[in-house]
Structure 1
Amino acid sequence: MNNICKLLCALMALFFMPIIAMAQDLSGSVKGIVSDSLSSKPAEYITLAIKKDGNVVKTVLTTQNGGFTFAEIPFGKYTLTATATGYTPKVVPFELTAEKNSFDAGNILLADQVNALADVAVVAIRPIIKQEVDRISYDIQADPESKVLTALDMMRKVPLLSLDADDNIKLKGSDNYRILINGKPSAMLDRNPKDVLRGMPASSIQKIEVITTPPAKYDSEGLSGIINIITNKKIDNGYNGSINLRHQFPVGGPNGSANIAYKQGKFGITAYGGTGKYAAPETEIVTSRSTTGVNPSELLNIGKRKSNNIFRYGGADLSFELDTLNLFTAGINPYNGLYDATNNQTFSLRTPSQLSSYHLLGRNRFDWDGLELSLNYQHGFKSNKDRLLTFSFKSNSGSNPQKNELIFTERQNYTDPNYLQQNDSRQKEQTMQLDYVHPVNKLNIEGGIKAILRDNSSNFEYQTFNSQNGQYVTDPTRTNMFNNKQNIIAAYNTYAYSLTNVVFKAGVRIEETFVKADFISNSSNVNTDYFNIIPSFSINRKFANQSNVNFGFTQRIQRPGIYNMNPFVDRSTPNFESTGNPDLKAVLANNFELTYSKFKKGSVNVGLSYNFANNTIQNVSVYNPVTGITRTSFANIGRDKSLTTNLNINYPLTAKWNVSVSGNIGYTWLEGTINGVVTQNEGIKGYGYINTGYKFEKQWKANASFSYNAPYVTLQGKSGEYVFMSFSGSKEIIKDKLTVSAGIYNPFSKYRLYESFTEGPNFRQQYKGQNYNRSFTLGLNWKFGGLKDEIKKNKRSITNDDVKGGSTTGK
């Protein structure tokens, strides 16, 4: 085996040595100095980029004396661009040949920008963080770890985002948010986004936006804000593409994705797809519960579980430019997957009068599949290229079948039969939207109308095993059919006004919602409708020292989704049940945001936010002493308040060494009435994250990170704290074409413990679950093709971000 490895290394060396030697013989150098045009002082940490045919070849930062140097630039014609926040970009063309293999750009003078502030970018090796008037964006492609991390892993690095011990995403410590992909909702992410994002390579993402003050054009859902994952990139004449392969072990598995773009004349197409698995080997789980009252009890459940998650997704976006004013685009996105888990557990329930126990073999399976179709038409105007009229249509259909099978053995004082649960859940949605953008000098006006028609259904069945005939028999008292229709009519109007140093953005959204829920089996129904006016306002003030202040206010709605309203009772764990609540109402929240940002040598973002809401949707657990069951559901009982401060620092110690620190700390107050009893909880929440990266010679890169998550406070309990650590590295084998990467996560701890407790007037229960902590990854990224002219895409499209996601399960 060693001889084979040596032979392969020798062959690779023989293959690459001539290429490297040729590159060294046919390359030159570029140097110069950058200065401020007013003060004539050298400008440090200015980004210099060499471009060829519009594509970036190499970037560096100026040193403290304003100097910069590029080495090993292949012969050819290029442009040298100097950019920095607060300055007008400077472009210098040049050419390197065998006769003239060096270019001295001399003293490049940068002048202050005089145009209105649109956004503020970090001056780093490549700008990573951008502060806009209503959002913060994180440039994934500027982060070296994008070659090795998944989209879920990358969430730890984005300002205001964090992951808890069970890899659930938090926005400022809250799970009340909405995730979009390219500004659009994705049905793949509705049920459990972490499973999808865990298999998505970060290298396929361009940037992640955290929209803390969503403007009126967005649907009003997401109490804490919106997470927008941008994957689409520029597509030009010709073709290009990439292939990403990744393997994680012992937890995880192989996954891969690919995309290809082609454009010829007025027609363009982008096709993409991915598949993979996430397998978790057997780990331990412990559930305990103590109850009080007339018949107190002690329940202990000790067992092991293993799971397997498989996902597949794909799609294509088509574009046809009829002429310079009329553009048609269409999209198709099929997806499917499954989650399969096996539990082997031993239960014991002790009361003063008896002890009952049994062994349980539980098999749980969740499937999902769906198809999304979209069609957009955009019309421009000769008088102003930024004046646009867009019509969009979108259709989405999918299903989420679920099956739970429970088999009991080694019974002692336990007589309940084996049982089987099945739930066939389906969703259909159609959306029509009309948007109009009209710029007038420094004022930009947007308006639109929208209609969303949703039809959700759930056909659930409960069957018990008849030991006499060996067949399952349907229990009609636990079987039903549920239909839920939700129609939304909305209109919005937004105004953005730009001055030299100030940008104002304000708008209002009006929404009318009609809900009809039917229980077909017992002929009962729930009908309701509600009307909301949602204002939003934000302002950005720029100062002379490359700093700015943002202030924003908005109201947000949290509509209950089908998973929150579905009355299907999940009985996959004996003594515990979880279900939805079809009587849930929408929640209205008020958010205030104040942020200070400074961008010079590195970047600093400091923010303070306050939000409050009444009648919030809370997970509620109630113990019934008659049945001995703890049932978890949802209810509009919460009164929430939260005060949070956040910090993000991104600092280049040198041109090759960068350090970033981010985190937030806050205090949350929760109150609600459960079965007539006032329940209160409060506590500190927050997380901290530090990352450092270094670029070595010959395209080697290394990164290390550490994060800490404080316990998460709920109305009836709290979860445990969580620590995460990672080390990774990558190497470009072929410049801008082929990259290999590797990483290790949590090397000093094989397992991490996810712990939470929930309590009520007559019970206290605790859950402890082991998750694999230590893992290794190997990755390969290959880019191919060449492009010239950009494919055009609609600047407006449908974005349905108005419903609460998540499942009805919980303990």
Structure 2
Amino acid sequence: MRVLSILLFLTCVCFYSVKAQVSPETASIKGIVIDSASNKPQDYITAALKKDNATVKTALSKSDGSFQIDKVAPGNYTLVIVAMGFSPKNIPVNVKEAKSYDLGRIKVAGTTNNLAEVSVTAARPIIKQDIDRITYDIQADPESKVNTVLDMMRKIPLLSVDAEDKIQLKGSGSYKILINNKPSSLVARNPSDVFRSMPAANIEKIEVITTPPAKYDSEGLAGIINIITKKNIDAGYNGNLNLRHSFPAGGPGGSGRITVKQGKFGLSAFGMYNVFENPGTVSRSERTTTANALLGLPGTFLNQIGTSSNDGNSGYMSAELSYEIDTLNLLSGDLSFNRYSFDNMSDLTSSLLQASNPYQSYRSNSFSNNLGDGYDFSINYQRGFKNNKNQLLTISYRSSNYGGDAESAYNIFDRFNYDPQAFPNYSQFNEEQQKEQTIQADYVHPVGKKLNIEGGVKAILRDNNSEFEYQGQNANGDYVVDPSRTNNYNNNQNVYGIYNTYQYNLADWGFKAGVRVELTTIDADFISQSSNLNEEFFNVIPSVSVNRKFKNMSSLNFGYTQRIERPGIWQLNPFVQRQPNFESSGNPDLEPVLNNSFELNYSKFKKGSINIGLNYSFANNTIQQVSSYLPETEITRSTFVNTGKDRKLGTNFNVNYPILPTLNFSVGGNMNYVWLEGFVNGQTVSNDGLTGYTYGNLNYRHKSGWRLGSNFSYSSAWITLQGSSRSRFSSGFSLGKDIIKDKLTFSGSISNPFTKFMAWENTTEGPNFSQRSYSEMYFRRVNVSLNWNFGKLKESIKKNRRGISNDDVKAGGGSGAN
């Protein structure tokens, strides 16, 4: 109640300060927007008044094309007329006295060349639909100064973030995340943790690529999420500092960015560091098993209850360097480092009943530590041509390395009928290393103004290895290595690809089609067990996108593509994560999965934006995580297998509408019906059901610099091959204030003020068992942030327009089952 009282007080202060403002004598600016081709007035066209390259006021034209901007103070301005489908128009306006300035009929011309990207610095729509993707302009959303990147993802069409902060694309966890069109070891394993700590103020836009063209690697069944960072690489220098703190879960964090341009050299650097702590929360698990007449074992009931807490830190640094050799030749490169440390402590009380009688019990405590670091390095050469600025040749090289060490120790005590020799105290170690080198060449060749041809070749060389060890405590209290549970594993995977795409644009039609041919070679080796696996896969991957434009800035998009899901090292690694009564591991025999995807999307951009889509996908031999119960050891074991079929029929929608110039409302979500089928322990298992996600946001922004926001989201239960989870609801409120306009901003927010803990529940069923796991996590969270921008920039740095983007391995943190 204290937090809500503070929020209510700040809201009252906000509206009081707005009401108390008094405007001096001011002028007004008006005009009528006319289409130069049809000579007809245009409604819902944005008129943005700018001063010193900053937007001061905006207005929308009415049905007769007229607009008016009031309360304009004396000064020199630029009026920018901008809308999708029209070329932006700049009109200088010198306001000398308090009167009405009539600019008369302002003619705007439609855009004719869709191949070149137009940069608009005035007011712009938050959501943009392209031929094969949806783009969400983070900087056009006022909540970007308040929220983290993970918070903003909850608002983006086709994306969903559940209450456990797992990211999904079209209801699926099988996707690839790129940063600036490139893969990054920063998000290789736990993207939610990274984006939860990354301020949205440092992000320019997020692209959801639903029908990836042939130039992208064929991985990611649902598509690609491309994070474009904010660089502002111009002459001079500028920068940004951000300080944040979250409680009771979370902790302090900070980030900084600086950009420098001097002559032909340009440098952009970014770094962040976060400390987090999650206090102890409760977890429970129950498992009921049936009697086994063959082994003469009765049915059992396992009940476990415990608490766990965790803490850690993470850091990231990156730098991009650009050198303009001359007007046609450009050399650029980037280097990044990341590191994380994560500790978990837990205690557990376990009891096992047989035929309703006590059979076993024990207590345990455990500690685990995960430490990882990685780097990415790339260099790019771009060659332009005098005859056409869109004709490009790019040659790129990239090297990355990621290493992680995991250590855990389990101490079991207060045993009842729990044999210390069969189930001793133990410790586990796993050292994992992933190395990757990529070389790529791309060529873009425009033919006239309507046809664009792209082609390229690529080679990815991967070397993944894992060394794991199990030590059990003997009768003397010493820890001794168990060779049967210790192993070294190498997995070498090379991917060779070639692609060709064609894009053809007419006045109202756009066509994009291509094909990608890939050869994958896999050499897996169990060094300790002297076993080896060699396989080759050859795939021809087509992609087709069609765009039809209609009146009133609306369009219809159709897309078809095939995608490949290659297992990641964490799914292949045979290292067994052991806990009493439960085990999990990867499967080194996993094979890639081929998925077919169809999409139909309708978009309309005028005063607001509407996006509605339908999609259908199917795949065979899919990778699923399955669990089986072994009655002779009382252990439930989980691993990944290629099994069965996966079909999905879904719809998605997003509506973004400015109720008032200062008040914006958005709502969206997705709904999918999922059919899953597979084999578990030789038996056919199937599951189906409806899954969905919906969200809503209401944002108010006043000219005084105050910003208020509220949001909600609802996630239905997940559907997996052997069970489901429970539904979740979340809500939040935010408050922000520009202390110094465009320089210093204070922001605060509260997530889930009405719910302290979120209960996460998952059920799993097999032929001879049924289990339920329940855990709590801190759901109520208060965030405060201070953001400072400094410096001044003048002219743009050139950057490579093509680069390496390895998107062919499944992203971490997702679940391919739904």
TM-score over 0.5 for the pair = yes
Alignment correspondent of 1:86: 85
Partner SS, residue 765 of structure 2:
strand
Alignment correspondent of 2:700: 694
Q: Deviations over 1:470-492 (max 9, x none)?
A: 43211111000001100111001
Partner SS, residue 797 of structure 1:
coil
What letter corresponds to residue 593 of structure 2 in structure 1?
V
Alignment correspondent of 2:12: none
What letter corresponds to residue 707 of structure 1 in structure 2?
S
Q: Deviations over 1:492-529 (max 9, x none)?
A: 10110011111100000010000001111111111111
| Counterpart-to-counterpart distance in 2, 1:557 and 1:809 | 15
Matches within 5 A, 1:102-251: 104-111=101-108, 113=110, 115-117=112-114, 126-251=124-249
Matches within 5 A, 1:14-93: 29=27, 31-37=29-35, 43-52=42-51, 54=53, 56-62=55-61, 66-69=66-69, 71=71, 75-76=75-76, 78-93=77-92
What letter corresponds to residue 705 of structure 2 in structure 1?
Q
Q: Does 1:377 align with 2:374?
A: no
| Counterpart-to-counterpart distance in 1, 2:121 and 2:347 | 54
Q: Does 1:339 align with 2:346?
A: no
Partner SS, residue 157 of structure 1:
coil
Partner SS, residue 206 of structure 1:
strand
| Counterpart-to-counterpart distance in 2, 1:708 and 1:178 | 24
Change (3 A) 1:514 1:102: farther
Q: Does 1:456 align with 2:454?
A: no
- Offset of 1:123 from its aligned partner? 14
- Offset of 1:366 from its aligned partner? 1.4
Alignment correspondent of 1:544: 551
What letter corresponds to residue 465 of structure 2 in structure 1?
S
Partner SS, residue 174 of structure 1:
coil
| Counterpart-to-counterpart distance in 2, 1:457 and 1:655 | 56
Alignment correspondent of 1:350: 353
Alignment correspondent of 2:11: none
Determine if contact 2:176/2:811 at 8 Å carries over to the other structure. yes
- Offset of 1:656 from its aligned partner? 1.1
Partner SS, residue 112 of structure 2:
coil
What letter corresponds to residue 393 of structure 1 in structure 2?
Y
| Counterpart-to-counterpart distance in 2, 1:460 and 1:627 | 22
| Counterpart-to-counterpart distance in 2, 1:721 and 1:497 | 44
- Offset of 1:313 from its aligned partner? 0.1
From 618, 623, 627, give the equivalent of 2:629.
Answer: 623
Q: Does 1:386 align with 2:383?
A: no
| Counterpart-to-counterpart distance in 2, 1:408 and 1:693 | 52
| Counterpart-to-counterpart distance in 2, 1:780 and 1:47 | 31
Determine if contact 2:290/2:769 at 8 Å carries over to the other structure. yes
What letter corresponds to residue 245 of structure 2 in structure 1?
H
- Offset of 1:404 from its aligned partner? 1.0
Alignment correspondent of 1:518: 525
Identical-residue share of aligned pairs (%)? 52
Change (3 A) 1:102 1:626: farther
Change (3 A) 1:117 1:330: closer
Determine if contact 1:445/1:495 at 8 Å carries over to the other structure. yes
Q: Name the stretch that deviates more: 31-40 or 381-390.
A: 31-40
Alignment correspondent of 2:408: 404
What letter corresponds to residue 90 of structure 1 in structure 2?
K
From 413, 430, 455, give the equivalent of 1:423.
Answer: 430
Determine if contact 2:172/2:815 at 8 Å carries over to the other structure. no
| Counterpart-to-counterpart distance in 2, 1:124 and 1:657 | 19
| Counterpart-to-counterpart distance in 2, 1:453 and 1:426 | 14
Q: Does 1:767 align with 2:755?
A: no
Determine if contact 2:174/2:815 at 8 Å carries over to the other structure. no
| Counterpart-to-counterpart distance in 1, 2:341 and 2:190 | 12
Alignment correspondent of 1:6: none
**Structure 1, gaps ≥5 residues long:** 1-16
Change (3 A) 1:653 1:324: same
- Offset of 1:297 from its aligned partner? 1.0
Determine if contact 2:74/2:97 at 8 Å carries over to the other structure. no
Determine if contact 2:724/2:762 at 8 Å carries over to the other structure. yes
- Offset of 1:368 from its aligned partner? 1.2
What letter corresponds to residue 141 of structure 2 in structure 1?
D
- Offset of 1:601 from its aligned partner? 2.1
Alignment correspondent of 2:567: 560
What letter corresponds to residue 47 of structure 1 in structure 2?
T
Q: Deviations over 1:651-685 (max 9, x none)?
A: 11111111111011120100011221000000001
Q: Deviations over 1:520-562 (max 9, x none)?
A: 1111111111000000000110012211100000000000111
Q: Does 1:715 align with 2:721?
A: yes
Q: Deviations over 1:699-727 (max 9, x none)?
A: 11111111111111011110110101011
- Offset of 1:116 from its aligned partner? 4.7
Alignment correspondent of 1:592: 598
Alignment correspondent of 2:4: none
| Counterpart-to-counterpart distance in 1, 2:99 and 2:313 | 53
| Counterpart-to-counterpart distance in 2, 1:198 and 1:122 | 29
Partner SS, residue 758 of structure 1:
strand
- Offset of 1:55 from its aligned partner? 5.2
| Counterpart-to-counterpart distance in 2, 1:201 and 1:338 | 20
From 252, 255, 269, give the equivalent of 2:253.
Answer: 255
Q: Name the stretch that deviates more: 85-94 or 305-314.
A: 85-94
| Counterpart-to-counterpart distance in 1, 2:156 and 2:575 | 36
Q: Deviations over 1:224-272 (max 9, x none)?
A: 1111111143311000011111111111111111100000110000011
Q: Deviations over 1:51-110 (max 9, x none)?
A: 45655455443466732315465734x4211111233322101334xx557672523424
Alignment correspondent of 2:748: 742
From 727, 747, 755, give the equivalent of 2:761.
Answer: 755
Determine if contact 1:195/1:309 at 8 Å carries over to the other structure. no
Alignment correspondent of 1:313: 316
Partner SS, residue 183 of structure 2:
coil
| Counterpart-to-counterpart distance in 2, 1:55 and 1:533 | 49
Partner SS, residue 637 of structure 2:
strand
Q: Deviations over 1:10-45 (max 9, x none)?
A: xxxxxxx9xx99x989x9655112333477776443
| Counterpart-to-counterpart distance in 1, 2:111 and 2:206 | 29
- Number of residue pairs matched by the alignment: 786
Determine if contact 2:624/2:816 at 8 Å carries over to the other structure. no
Change (3 A) 1:562 1:585: same
Alignment correspondent of 1:12: none
What letter corresponds to residue 330 of structure 2 in structure 1?
L
Determine if contact 1:121/1:599 at 8 Å carries over to the other structure. no
Determine if contact 2:384/2:391 at 8 Å carries over to the other structure. yes
**Structure 2, gaps ≥5 residues long:** 1-16
Change (3 A) 1:640 1:810: closer
Change (3 A) 1:379 1:126: closer
What letter corresponds to residue 304 of structure 2 in structure 1?
N
Q: Name the stretch that deviates more: 781-790 or 118-127.
A: 118-127
| Counterpart-to-counterpart distance in 1, 2:529 and 2:255 | 47
Partner SS, residue 400 of structure 1:
strand
Q: Does 1:669 align with 2:666?
A: no
Change (3 A) 1:566 1:808: farther
Partner SS, residue 391 of structure 2:
strand
| Counterpart-to-counterpart distance in 2, 1:326 and 1:802 | 30
| Counterpart-to-counterpart distance in 1, 2:801 and 2:523 | 34
Determine if contact 1:689/1:705 at 8 Å carries over to the other structure. yes
Alignment correspondent of 1:799: 805
Query: TM-score, normalising length from structure 2?
Result: 0.92
- Offset of 1:785 from its aligned partner? 0.7
- Offset of 1:630 from its aligned partner? 0.9
Change (3 A) 1:556 1:810: closer
| Counterpart-to-counterpart distance in 1, 2:435 and 2:706 | 48
